[in-house]
């Protein structure tokens, strides 16, 4: 079976508002020369371009997908929210939440983005693909049921999970979010459920400012099925791999999922304008290898990656290509043009030891069942 890669040019045409990074242009905030939000189409388009130029695209099952249906969307989002979004989209666009501007057709772009994730998940669960990657845009992991934020307009991964559950295909799903920002939307949607394990590795107190703490372990039936791993600014390659080894993989071993989904953001990279962590192309390659091993152990290799953030137009394509090399088992290899520089810039042994101590403390906490409040 092949590795699937779901994408659609129409998603690249989704547009944001008049922003300078994450600030609306206005008094004292000047427009950027490049213009707009950092969540631009170019990081995604250039990943697809790099796959084409390297030849890796030819080894993948490339496909678009149908947009998520209204029925799909209403399993996660209230009808009133969807209607308001659709009406604003038809009228030319606007902004419904925090840092989620969209132009005319924004509703359709978001439904298509969710549809790519849905089809990737269903194709893997039905056994037509070994594993898959959804190049979803706009992203989704910050979106709450009725309140979009952080560039996310619909909860792509949650929509895909609920579609799979509606077909009886995925009793237990684990979501690993290695986007540098806390996956607050995914967490909120599944917080009181034990049929979805949510794990978020993120830079502490980056975005959102008020979520992502280790104390949030879930509620009700979901108590113990939410894990937050806030990493210190400056955490690099070694810290990410250690967090995966000591916290994420043991959690998967305890949970034994039927499917693993990765919210694959690349904004933890050293060149991202919206983070202060030091992950590299090899970090994402190695984390993919770790997750693939867990998928082989617990769910017959069923693994889906869904694209989230990542705002360096130059470096995101290399990080994504490394993931696709591992996911597909390809012999095609694109070297990291910044490898030598990033090796020198990695945290020194003292800082690595400091973060490692924090990770070990978290590993001890998460290995024990949380106390109900």
Tokens encoding 240: 């990410």
Q: Which residues contact 362 (CB under 8 A, 6 or more apart)?
A: 214, 229, 243, 246, 247
Pairing of strands 173-177, 259-264: parallel
Structure tokens, 138: 């706009």
**Is residue 61 annotated as part of the catalytic site, yes or no?**
no
d(CA 44, CA 263): 15
CA dihedral 292, 236, 190, 172 (to 10 degrees): 20
Q: Which residues of 343-368 are buried (b: 16+ CB within 10 A; e: fewer)?
A: eeebbeeebbeebbebbeebbeebee
Tell me which of 142, 202, 237, 321 is the catalytic residue.
142
What's the burial of 220, exposed, middle or buried (CB within 10 Å: 0-12/13-18/19+)? exposed
According to DSSP, the β-strands at 93-95 and 101-103 are: antiparallel
Of 13, 7, 268, the closest CA to residue 136 belongs to 7
Backbone angles phi, psi at 149, to 5 degrees: -160, 165
Active site residues: 142
């Amino acid at each position: 079976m092949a590795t699937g890669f779901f994408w659609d040019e129409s998603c690249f045409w989704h547009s944001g508002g008049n922003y300078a990074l994450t600030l609306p242009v206005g008094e004292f905030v000047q427009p950027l020369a490049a213009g707009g939000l950092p969540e631009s189409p170019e990081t995604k388009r250039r990943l697809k371009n790099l796959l084409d130029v390297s030849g890796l695209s030819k080894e993948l099952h490339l496909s678009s997908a149908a947009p998520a249906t209204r029925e799909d969307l209403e399993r996660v989002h209230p009808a009133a929210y969807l209607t308001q979004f659709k009406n604003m989209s038809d009228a030319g666009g606007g902004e419904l939440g925090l840092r989620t501007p969209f132009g005319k057709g924004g509703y359709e772009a978001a439904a298509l983005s969710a549809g790519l994730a849905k089809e990737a998940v269903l194709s893997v669960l039905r056994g037509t693909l070994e594993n898959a990657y959804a190049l979803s845009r706009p992203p989704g992991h910050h979106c709450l049921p009725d309140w979009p934020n952080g560039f996310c307009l619909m909860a792509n991964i949650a929509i895909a999970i609920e579609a799979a559950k509606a077909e009886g295909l995925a009793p237990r799903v684990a979501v690993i979010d290695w986007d540098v920002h806390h996956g607050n939307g995914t967490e909120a949607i599944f917080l009181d459920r034990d049929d979805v394990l949510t794990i978020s590795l993120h830079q502490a107190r980056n975005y959102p400012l008020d979520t992502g703490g280790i104390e949030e372990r879930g509620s009700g039936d979901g108590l113990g099925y939410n894990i937050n791993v806030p990493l210190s600014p400056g955490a690099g390659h070694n810290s990410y791999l250690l967090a995966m080894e000591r916290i994420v993989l043991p959690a998967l071993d305890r949970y034994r999922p039927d499917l693993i989904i990765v919210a694959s953001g690349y904004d933890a990279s050293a060149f991202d304008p919206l983070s202060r962590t030091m992950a590299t192309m090899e970090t994402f390659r190695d984390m993919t290898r770790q997750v693939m091993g867990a998928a082989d152990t617990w769910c017959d290799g069923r693994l889906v990656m869904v694209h989230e953030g990542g705002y360096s137009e130059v470096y995101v394509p290399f990080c994504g290509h490394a993931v696709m090399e591992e996911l597909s088992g390809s012999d095609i290899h694109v070297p990291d043009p910044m490898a030598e520089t990033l090796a020198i810039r990695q945290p020194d042994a003292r800082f690595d030891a400091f973060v490692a101590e924090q990770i070990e403390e978290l590993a001890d906490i998460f290995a024990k069942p949380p106390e109900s409040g």
